[in-house]
Amino acid sequence: MEQVNVGLLGFGTVGGGTYELLTKNADIIANRTGSKICVKKIYVRNPKKYEAVQLPEGTVFVDDVQSVLEDPDIQIVVEVMGGTTFAAECVETALRNGKNVATANKDLLAEKGPYLLDLAAKNGVDLRYEASVLGGIPIIRTLYDSLGGNRITELVGIMNGTTNFILSNMTERGAGYAEVLQEAQALGYAEADPTADVEGYDAARKLAILSSIAFNRRIFFDDVHCEGITKIDATDIAFGKEFGYTVKLLGIAKETKKGLSLNVHPCFISNNHPLASVRGSYNAIYVRGNGIDDAMFYGRGAGSLPTGSAVVSDVMEIAKNVTAGATGKLRPFYYPDKNLYAPGKIESSYYMRLLVDNSTGVLAKVAGKLAEQRISVQSVIQRNEDEQTATLAIVTAACPRSYLLNVIDAFNNLRVVKAVGSVIRIMAD
C-alpha cells in the first residue's frame, strides 16, 4: 500500500481534531483511500509546549515551517493556523513547491480563494477547503460535484453558530442581547471580541466562498453587503412571534436576470421554513438549483472534530489523486463579469418598529408616508406604552430597499414619530 505523507501546519483546536481523526481512524482511512496516510511533521511555534503529546514513530514537532514546505517526501500540506498573512505565505509557497494543500482557513479563501485556486491549477496540484465553510457540513464538495450539473439560483444559510446560539436563546427565553452574548462567551461559543461573528463578517466570508463556487464568479469578502445582529431587541423578537416569524442571521445569495445579490443580515423567516427550526449553535444551508429544486444541509458548523472531519475528507480526496497521479484536475471556471446587483434595488418585505405619539390620527399619518413611497402595509400591531406613547409594529409588502430608506427619512422628520426602533427584512417563503 502506497504511503502519502502529510505536513500539518498548526496544532490548535482544528489541528488537534484533524490529527486525532487521521490517527484514530487510520485503518478506515487507508481502506477507503487505498493508501496509508501518515503525518510526518507538525509545525508549531513552540514545540516544548507539546512535550506531553505522545507521537508515533516517524512523526515530529518542528518549529521551522520551511522544513515542512520544502520536504520532498511530504505530498500534502494541511494549513489550520488561520489568518491571512503568514498562512497565505505558507499556502502559496506550498503550491509553488508542487505540494497539495488542504485548509480550513475561511479568511484566506474569502480574500484570495480564486487566486489560490488558479495557482494550484498552474502547478498541477490540488487545493481543497471543505472545512473553511460550515465545519462538518459537506457543502463545498457537494456544490462542486454532486450538484455540479445544476444551475444554482439561490443559497440561503445560517452560517454562524455563535449568532444562531444568541438569537435562539433570545427567542426561546425572551432574554436580551447583552445577557445572551455574555452567556455565549462563558460557554466558549463567542470570542472575547465577538465582532467578526455578531457583525456578520464571519458569515459574509463563508457566503463569498460558497458563491464563488455556486455562481462561477470571482467573489470576495468585500463583495458581500453585511449587517449584524447587535441592534436586534427582545421586543422585536416578541412582535415577530405574533406575526408568525423567527429571526435568524442569514447569508443570502441569489442570481436572477437582474444580476447576483450577496447579503448577510438579520431576517424574519416564516415559522414553517426549515431554517426556522435550526437552533442553538447548529448551522444549515438551503440550496436551490434547477435540477434538485430545494435541498437543505444541516449540522455542526464548528468544533475540533466536526471541522477536523472536513479537513480529513479533503486529505483523503487528495491522497486518492496523489496515488492515481491525477492532482491538479480541479480547474475552476469563472465568468468574466460578476454582474453584482446593488443592495438598494433588492425587493423585500420589511418589519418596522416605531415609537409614536399615542394620539388620534397617528396611524393615518404613518400610513400616508408609506403610501408616498409606494409601500403597502400588510399587518400592523399597536401597543400603548403609556398615555403619551405607543409602539407600532408594521409589516410591509415587498418593496426596493431604497424605498424603505426614503420612508425612514420621512419618519425621522415626522413629529408624531419619536423614534424608528428597528427595521428587519422578511424573507419570502
What are the structural domains, with CATH classification, of the chain? Answer: 2-136+303-324 (3.40.50.720), 140-299 (3.30.360.10), 343-426 (3.30.70.260)
Confirm whether 206 is a catalytic residue. Answer: yes
pLDDT of residue 407: 95
pLDDT of residue 341: 87
Q: Which of 40, 41, 206, 369 is catalytic?
A: 206
Chain center to CA of 11: 23
- What is the pTM (predicted TM-score) of this model? 0.93
Which grid coordinates are listed for 395? 409589516
User: How far, in Å, CA of 246 to CA of 228, rounded?
Assistant: 16
- List pLDDT tens digits, range 66-119: 999 999 999 999 999 999 999 999 999 999 999 999 999 999 999 999 999 999
Within 10 angstroms of residue 410's Cβ, the number of other Cβ atoms is 16
Q: Which of 227, 185, 184, 181 is nearest to 204 (CA)?
A: 227
Beta strands in 239-388 (DSSP E): 245-256, 259-270, 282-289, 293-300, 347-357, 377-384
Q: Which of the residues in the chain have pLDDT under 70?
A: none
pLDDT of residue 295: 94
Give residues with Cβ within 8 angstroms of 166, minimum separation 6: 177, 180, 181, 184, 190, 198, 229
* φ and ψ of 31, to 5 deg: -65, -35
pLDDT of residue 188: 84
